[in-house]
Amino acid sequence: MPKLVFELFSTSSTLVSISSPSTIPNHLVLGQHNIKSLSSVRYMSTSTNTLAIEKKMVPGNEVQQVELLAGVEDLYGGIIIDMEKTMDSEAFVPLLRASLSQWKQRGKRAVWIKLPIELANLVEPAVKGGFKYHHAEPDYVMLVNWISKSTNSLPKNASHRVGISAFVMNDKRQVLVVQEKSGKFKGTGVWKFPTGVVDEGEDISMAAIREVKEETGIDTEFVEILAFSGCQWRSMQSSLL
Distance between CA atoms of residues 152 and 175, nearest Å: 51
pTM: 0.58
What 8-state DSSP symbol labels residue 117? G
Residues 134 and 204 in one domain: no
CB of 125 closer than 8 Å to CB of 91: no
List 67, 124, 214, 221, catalytic entry: 214
Query: Could you tell me the residue range of the domain that residue 220 belongs to?
Result: 3-16+158-240
My answer on whether 142 and 101 are in the same domain is yes
Give the tens place of pLDDT for each residue, 185-201.
889 999 999 999 899 88
Do 113 and 133 reside in the same domain of the chain?
yes
Count how many domains the chain has.
Answer: 2
Tens digit of each residue's pLDDT (9 = 90 or more) over 73-130:
988 799 999 998 889 999 999 999 999 999 999 999 999 999 999 999 999 999 999 9
Q: What is the CATH number of the domain that holds 185?
A: 3.90.79
- Look at residue 99 and tell me if it is in a domain: yes
Same domain for 177 and 110: no
Report the C-alpha gap between 94 and 84 in whole angstroms: 18
Q: Has 224 been annotated as catalytic?
A: no
Q: Do 163 and 236 belong to one domain? A: yes
SS3 216: helix
Give yes or no for a contact between 234 and 240, defined as CB atoms under 8 angstroms apart: no
Domain end among 126, 146, 166: 146
Residues constituting the chain = 241
Task: For the chain, count helices (H), then strands (E).
Answer: 3, 15
